[in-house]
Structure 1
Amino acid sequence: MFPKFLYFFLRVAGIVVALIFFYRIRAVFFPFILAGFLAYLLHWPVEWLERKKINRGFGIFLLYLVLGIMIFLITKFFLPSFIKQINELIAVLPGYLNQVQEFLDRQQAGIDRGSLPPEIKKSLLIQIDSLEKSVAGILKSLLATLWGISSHLFDFLLAPILAYYILKDVHNLKKNILGYLPVDFRDEAIIFLKVCDHVFGRFIKGHLLICLTVGILTGLILYILKIPYSFLLGLLAGIMELVPYFGPILASIPILALALLKGKVLFIKTLLAIVLIQQIEGNVLAPKILGDSLGLHPLTVIFLLLCGFNLGGVLGMILAVPVAAVVRNLYFLFRWRGNSLEVDSKNFGKV
C-alpha cells in the first residue's frame, strides 16, 4: 500500500513541479507559438508544391525566397510612406484630439441649451460620456496589444527559423505527438485536429483575403477623397476587419472624425464610401469567401465577441468566434459518433 501511495505522490509532485517550471519559462513559448502559427499559414502552399513533385525542403526555401522578395519590395516602396504618415499623425494628433473634444463639448452645450425634457437631456449626456469612455477603452486595449507585439521583435525574427523546421518535419511531429497519447484517444485526437484545421483554415484564409481587399479599397477611396493618412487608415481598416461586426465600426471612427474636421461635405462623402465598402464586404466578399462555414447565428457571434473582449481584449475578440465554432463542430461530431455507437450496440451487441 505504501509504495502505491508513494508512487501516486511522486506523480502528483512531478506534475506540480512541471507546471511551475513551465509557468516560470512561459516567455520561451512565445516564439514557438508564433512559429506554429506561421507554419500553419504556410503549410497550404508547401503541400501544394509537394504535390507538384517539388522536394519539401526546397519548396519551403522557395516559398521563403518569394516572401523575402515581397517583404523587400513592400519595405522599399511602402514603408517610407508609412513611417512618414505615422510621424505626421503623432505630430498633429494632440491638435486633432482637441478639435474632437471641442466638437463633443459643443454637442453637450447644445443639449444643455435645448428645450428637451431634463430626463432626456441627462440620458443623452450620459450616452455621450459612455461612448467616449467605451471608445477610449477599446483604443487603449488596441494600443496595448500593438505595443506588446512590438516588444517581441527578437521573437518575430526567430519565428521563421523555427517555422522552417516545423514545416520540414511536420509529419514526424504529428506521429510523435500521437504516439504519446493512449491508443483509445488517438482517433478522437485526429478528429479534433481535422475539425480545428477546417474551421481555423477557412476562418484565417477567408478573413485575411477580406482584410486585404477592404484595406486596399479603403485606402484607395480615402486617397481619392484626399483624406489625410489614407494609407495608415486603410491599413487600420484592413486589420480591424479581423474583428467581426465591431471591427469595421471601430475602424470607421477615426476616418469619419478626420473627415468631419475637414468639413461636412467631405464627412458625408466619406460616410457614403464607408457604407459602400461595408456593403460590398458584407454582401459580396464575406458570403463568397467565408459562406456559412462557421455556422453561428449573428446574435451568438455578437455575444461571443463581447465575451472575448471581456476575457482577452482585442485578441480575445478575434479568437472568440473560431474557437466557439470549433467547440460547436466537435460537439455535434462526437454527439453523432455517440449516437452511432449506441445504434451499433443495440443492433450488434457492441459498445
Structure 2
Amino acid sequence: MADNVQYNSSPGSDTKEPFYRKVLKAAGITLALLLFVLFIYYTFNSVLLLVFASVLIAIFFRGTADALSSRTGIPTGWSLALVMVVFLALTGLAWWLLAPQVTAQISTLSKELPRSIAGLEQQVQQYEWGRKLVGEIPTLDSLMESKNGWLQKSVGILSSTLGILANIYIVLFIAIFITINPKTYRQGIIMLFPLPKRNRAREVLDHIGSTLYKWILGKLFSMTVVGVMTSIGLSLLGIPMALALGFIAGLVSFIPNFGPIIALVPAVLIALLQGPNDALYVVLLYTGIQLVESNLLTPMVQKRMIEMPPALIISGQLLLGVFSGILGLILATPLIAMLIVIVKMLYVRDVLGDDDVHVG
C-alpha cells in the first residue's frame, strides 16, 4: 500500500496539460494565423486578385483546349495553340468590325452626356427638392477653378489608365505561362500539403477548376445574350448609340447585381434627351432583360455548377469592394464559388461526414 502511495505522489506523474491551456494555445495560434492572413491580404490584395484573374483566363484557355482535344483527338498542345489562335482571331475580327462603330458611338456618348445631365438638371429644378439637390452639387466651373487641382486630377487619370493597361498586360502574361504548363503550378500547390492529404488536395483543385470553367462559360454566354438583347431593344426603341450601350451592358453584366445598374445610367441619360417617356421605356427594357438574365440565364448556368445564394454573392461583393475596390467587386463571384467548393469538400464532407452534399 505504501508503495502505491509513493508511486502516485511521485513528481511528474501527472503531466497532463490543463484543458484551458490547450484552449488558449489553440485560440492564440488561430488568432495569429488570422492576423497573418489579414496582413498578407491587406498588403498584397491587388497582387493576389491579379494572379487570380490570370488563373481564371488560364482555366478558360486550358479547359477549352482539353475539351477540344477529348472530342476531336487532336493532341493537347495543338488544340491549345488552335484555341489561342482562334480566340485572338475572333478578338481581332470583333475589334475590326465593331471598334470603329463602338468608338464613334462612345465618343458621341461622352459629348451627349453633359447635355443630357444639363437637361435633367433643368427638369429637376422645377421642384423645390430638386433646387436644393442641385445647389449641393458642385458645378464644372467650380471644379476647374483650381488649375493645379485640375492638373493633378488629369495626371491621376493618366496614371490610373497606364496602371490599368499594365495590369492587363501582367494578367495576360501570367495567364499564358499558366496555360502552357499548368501541371507545374498545380503540383507546386499540392506539394505544400502532407503526403496523406495530397490526393485529397488534388481532388479539391480538380473540382475548383471544373467549377470555375463552367462559371466562365456560363458568364460569357450570359454577357453575350445581355449585350445582344440590349442593343436590339434600344434600336427598336429608337435610342441613339444602341450598339455602344449594348456593348457596355454586356461588358458590365460580368458583375452580378451591380452591373445592370452601372449599364442603366448612361442609357437613361441618353434617353432623357429624347424625352422622359423614352427614359421610362429604357428602364423597363433593362428591367426586363435583368429579369430574363436572373430567372432564365442564371438558373441555366447554375444547373451545371455549384449553387451560390444571392445574399452571399452580394455580401462578398460588398466586402471585397470595400477592401479591394473595383477589382474585388469584379472577381467576388468566382472567388465565392471557389470558397464554396473548398468548404463543402474539406469541411462539410471531410469533417462533418455529409457525403450527400452537391459540390458541382
TM-score, length of structure 2 as denominator length: 0.68
| 1:227 counterpart = 2:239 | yes
Instruction: Give the match's secondary structure for 1:242.
Output: coil
Q: Deviations over 1:258-316 (max 9, x none)?
A: 21231133223323322221222122211112249443433333333322322222322
Aligned pair partner of 1:95 in 115, 130, 142? 115
Q: Distance in 2 between matches of 1:195 and 1:145?
A: 40
Evaluate the alpha carbon distance shift between residue 291 and residue 71 of structure 1 in structure 2; reply closer, same or farther with a 3 A threshold.
Answer: same
Aligned pair partner of 2:57 in 17, 28, 38? 38
Q: Deviations over 1:19-40 (max 9, x none)?
A: 99xx89x97x998666433221
Instruction: Give the match's secondary structure for 1:54.
Output: coil
Q: Distance in 1 between matches of 2:317 and 2:76?
A: 39
Partner residue, 2:286: 274
* 8 Å Cα contact 1:227/1:259 also seen in 2: yes
Residue 156 of structure 1 and its aligned partner are, at CA, apart by 4.2
Q: Which runs of 5+ in 2 are unaligned?
A: 1-38, 138-155, 355-360
Higher helix share: 1
Partner residue, 1:141: none
Q: 1:152-171 maps to which residues of 2 (within 5 A)?
A: 152-153=164-165, 156=168, 163-171=175-183
Evaluate the alpha carbon distance shift between residue 308 and residue 294 of structure 1 in structure 2; reply closer, same or farther with a 3 A threshold.
Answer: farther
Evaluate the alpha carbon distance shift between residue 129 and residue 209 of structure 1 in structure 2; reply closer, same or farther with a 3 A threshold.
Answer: farther
* 8 Å Cα contact 1:60/1:164 also seen in 2: no
* 8 Å Cα contact 2:117/2:269 also seen in 1: no
Instruction: Give the match's secondary structure for 2:125.
Output: helix
| 1:337 counterpart = 2:350 | yes
AA paired with 1:337? D
Instruction: Give the match's secondary structure for 1:106.
Output: coil
Partner residue, 1:5: none
Partner residue, 2:103: 83
Partner residue, 2:250: 238
Q: Distance in 2 between matches of 1:305 and 1:157?
A: 25
Evaluate the alpha carbon distance shift between residue 163 and residue 250 of structure 1 in structure 2; reply closer, same or farther with a 3 A threshold.
Answer: closer
Q: Which runs of 5+ in 1 are unaligned?
A: 1-18, 113-124, 131-143, 342-351
| 1:66 counterpart = 2:86 | yes
Q: Distance in 2 between matches of 1:63 and 1:225?
A: 38
Structure with the greater relative contact order (CA < 8 A, sep ≥ 6): 1 or 2?
2
* 8 Å Cα contact 2:227/2:248 also seen in 1: yes
Residue 78 of structure 1 and its aligned partner are, at CA, apart by 0.9
Q: Deviations over 1:140-193 (max 9, x none)?
A: xxxx99985654546645765654443332234433443354324423432432
Name the % identity: 23
Partner residue, 1:10: none
Q: Distance in 2 between matches of 1:160 and 1:318?
A: 17
Q: Distance in 2 between matches of 1:155 and 1:190?
A: 30
TM-score, length of structure 1 as denominator length: 0.70
Residues paired across the two proteins, number: 294
Q: Which of structures 1 and 2 has the bigger CA Rg?
A: 2
Q: 1:237-316 maps to which residues of 2 (within 5 A)?
A: 237-291=249-303, 293-316=305-328
* 8 Å Cα contact 1:259/1:270 also seen in 2: yes
* 8 Å Cα contact 1:34/1:156 also seen in 2: no
AA paired with 1:85? Q
